[in-house]
Chains A and B, each alone.
Chain A
């Protein structure tokens, strides 16, 4: 083994020890979702005729094609059941792999942990090599386990394997991309942001590419997520496409090592520029804004672009609803009848969940600031606990509300242009704002957990995923009513279709306030935890 790789084995063991919960939960989560989807698909579409009809409708609906892609064999139960998973779920997998790779490379470097280890017999390339090997292992296990789960769910074994290997190869391509991004900037946040933008761009590229008639245009072939779709698992099983993500890895990984060799430990490619000698931050609120606004801006851009795109797709919905089968489908998406509005309602409820995810990530700054030791410095001054906690929490609440406002306006603007009905803007904005209280409830859960069990801050993500899964699969799983009623999203009125259920909105807001009060009371009486 070359000198520069010395210690890779030790780092792999250390990494697996640190990820002993994270990786199994992710991997099992993907396999479970694959399994339940395979089961659910067989139940929903019992015969070929129903499959062909559903697939034809989906392929003819631009919004569905843009969001999820095309079905290349209308008779294939696998291709139809997994329509949400070749692009959308793959993007989520890609984001998780980015987080994993950065966590073991740039984050460790930024905190100085690698420097601590670097005093030992540790080669320069060992951390990156270890991170990539752990990622490879995670991707392969996740892919194979998901393939087994799909086959166990009743889908053809060959297609299941093609699908699973697609996830593994695509996930690894994004691991490699993150490994490269980790060499570019001194800040782990910037490296993560850069990599996730890459995921978003590849997702958007294939959305535009897939919309081209008759099939995918060259744009889809420029995107690793597009490649994953072009494997066409259960609809031809084109194994050769797996060469593309593999080849991308073979380019990105050596490039990352070359970049690593050209820089110092802890440094980015560009030397750190000097900043202002005096600060303008006047208090905890300024500090929270300073620490959070960049991430919020990225979300704002994503929400507006996403909103306008799905808004403009609203015109295709009329066609979709003509078929009785499609109505079932729309119901599955969470909507009710009524042309454009049903589609908007479904999309806006997705935006509500995404905004809640932003709320959790923003409110969890409380915990990351405390764990980093920054809170001790702030609370050592005249700043009080409540004021400090409020700075991040209020930022989170305001961020959630502004994201949904922008989502409503941009979806409405896109739809208004598409169906030539300016009134849609108002309806869609009100509909999006009606999602705010439910997203606030989830955000407040993050504060409550911070107040009482700060070390469990990460578990709030698990809770959010569970709520989403419950909303998505609760009916299929025969989950009890009371369990599904625990999800705040279930109580959000589905505007602009349904009635504006004011009591529900008030109740959700009260629940959020109650959780926040609970969080504050815990935070006021507990010790500062390191």
Chain B
């Protein structure tokens, strides 16, 4: 199985604004791929390009081996899309919208449609006008998930869903993966991508800055270690790869790079270790590293869609010691 999505050097300009600035993005067949980035980083623009709703200013795009701009109908028969901002016809019922979208898609599985309605506790007889944001989202999700698509492009699919429904949605995605379908899941909710994704790509100011399995990306960040010891040994902060050491009485906490773990553990064991908690880096940490600018006080407006936005001053320094 090759790549389902291949984007190389894709540039998308809207007038003077460059939304995507040489974006490379690749999704392998059969994986659930998390597409992460904050608001305005170009996630929705990327997905719309994959659908042929927008036309790339430069670069090449292949989806399921097809050109989404030229072979749109053939392509769309094989994929399903949930827009980030679900707008429904106010005077059609949810059921009517689901069936319409399903038929336009080229057919949906009636049994699965029924199951999904039950799973998401959606009343299909209500006029779309009366649906809440979460319920509108469910309409789009049911319409997409009830089809037999090979590729699912889901733009922030859980926005507006409550935690129970989010859980139901995760079940659906796992089912899709078990059936060998490919899912691209854009999100700024890290726990969602973390729970579902085989691989993630992080987009920032119109470029994919990091791609890989979560485990691999985690190597790039530090583990948070907290330990109780009989006597705190001196000079812990001097160990290579150990940062932010805080000592209170018998408790030590520190941020540790993968390369520094061995040194720290050796030092702690000789100091009479009584308790140890270690937390793997979360996607939050990954994210913070790429958007460190925000934490560092750079106004958020300067990031977003701004072409070639500010660099990431947090990167180089904190990454010292990477293999």
Q: Contacts A383-B104, A527-B53, A527-B55 given: A377-B129 contact, CB under 8 Å? A: no
How far does the Cβ of B137 sit from chain A's closest Cβ, in whole Å?
A: 12
- Nearest chain B CB to A65's CB is how many angstroms away? 40
- Classify the secondary structure of B's interface with A: mixed
B263 contacts A by Cβ under 8 Å? no
In the complex, the chain A residue whose C-beta lies closest to that of B86 is A377
Q: List 24 A-B contacts (CB under 8 A).
A: A110-B90, A187-B91, A275-B125, A279-B95, A281-B99, A281-B100, A282-B103, A373-B83, A373-B85, A374-B87, A376-B83, A377-B83, A378-B101, A379-B52, A380-B51, A380-B80, A381-B101, A381-B105, A382-B104, A382-B106, A383-B76, A526-B55, A527-B14, A527-B54
Residue of A nearest to B105 (CB): A381
| B-side contacts of A286, CB under 8 Å | 100
B130 CB within 8 Å of chain A:
yes
A482 to B92, CA, bound (A): 47
Are B103 and A380 closer than 8 Å at their CB atoms? no
Check A377 against B140 for contact (C-beta < 8 Å). yes
Cβ contacts A305-342/B at 8 Å (1 or 0 each): 00000000000000000000000000000000000000
User: What's the minimum C-beta distance from B231 to chain A, rounded to whole angstroms?
Assistant: 56
Q: Among B48, B88, B124, B130, which residue has its beta carbon within 8 angstroms of that of A272?
A: B130
- Number of residues in A with C-beta < 8 Å to the partner? 37
Residues in chain B near residue A384, CB distance under 8 A: 72-73
Instruction: Tell me the smallest distance from the CB of B83 to a CB of chain A, in Å.
Output: 5
A236 to B173, CA, bound (A): 78
Which A residues are CB-close (under 8 A) to B125? 274-277
Are A374 and B89 neighbours in the complex by a CB distance under 8 Å?
yes
List residues 39-98 of chain B with CB under 8 A from any CB of chain A: 48, 51-55, 72-73, 76-77, 80-81, 83, 85-93, 95-98
Q: Is the CB of B104 within 8 A of A378?
A: yes
B177 within 8 A of A: no
Distance of B250 from chain A, by nearest CB (Å): 50
At the interface, yes or no: A186 with Cβ under 8 Å from chain B?
yes
Min CB–CB distance A429 → chain B (angstroms): 35
Q: List, in ascending order, chain A residues with CB within 8 A of B130's CB.
A: 272
Contacts of B89 in A (CB 8 A): 287, 291, 374
Q: B126 near A: Cβ within 8 Å? A: yes
Q: What residues of A have a CB within 8 angstroms of the CB of B87 in the complex? A: 372-374, 376-377
In the docked arrangement, what's the CA distance between A278 and B140, Å?
A: 15
- Known: A110-B129, A279-B100, A281-B103; 16 extra A-B contacts, CB below 8 A, are A187-B90, A272-B126, A275-B95, A275-B126, A277-B125, A283-B103, A376-B53, A376-B87, A377-B87, A378-B104, A380-B80, A382-B73, A383-B76, A384-B72, A527-B14, A527-B55
Task: Verify if A290 is at the interface (C-beta below 8 Å from B).
Answer: yes
Most B CB contacts (10 A, CB to CB) among A110, A277, A284, A383 go to A277
A270 at the interface (CB under 8 A from B): no
Interface residues, chain A, with chain B CB atoms under 8 Å away: 110, 186-187, 266, 272, 274-284, 286-287, 290-291, 372-374, 376-385, 525-528
Q: Measured between C-beta atoms, what is the minimum distance from A382 to chain B in Å? A: 4
| A76 CA / B88 CA spacing, docked (Å) | 56
A279 with B99: in contact, given A378-B104, A528-B48 (CB under 8 Å)? yes
B127 interfacial contact with A, CB 8 Å: yes
- In the bound complex, do residue A278 and residue B124 qualify as a contact, i.e. CB atoms below 8 Å apart? yes
Inter-chain contact B104/A284, CB cutoff 8 Å: yes
Q: A380-B76, A528-B54 are in contact. Are A278 and B104 (CB under 8 A)?
A: no
Give bound CA distance, A278 to B55, whole Å.
35
Partner of A275, one of B72, B93, B99: B93
Asked if residues A379 and B85 are in contact (CB atoms below 8 Å), the reply is no
Of residues 256 through 287 on chain B, the ones whose CB sits less than 8 Å from some CB of chain A are: none
Instruction: For the complex formed, measure the closest distance between the CB of B95 and the CB atoms of chain A, giving whole angstroms.
Output: 4
Give complex CA distance A383, B104 in Å. Answer: 6
For residue B101, which residue of chain A has the nearest CB? Answer: A381
Q: Are B86 and A278 in contact (CB under 8 A)?
A: no
Distance, CA A283 to CA B99, complexed state (A): 10
Q: Give Cα A276 to B87, complex, Å.
A: 19
Q: Do residues A279 and B97 form an inter-chain contact, with CB atoms below 8 A?
A: yes
In the docked arrangement, what's the CA distance between A284 and B104, Å?
Answer: 7
Considering only residues 107-163 of chain B, those with a C-beta below 8 Å from chain A are: 123-127, 129-130, 140
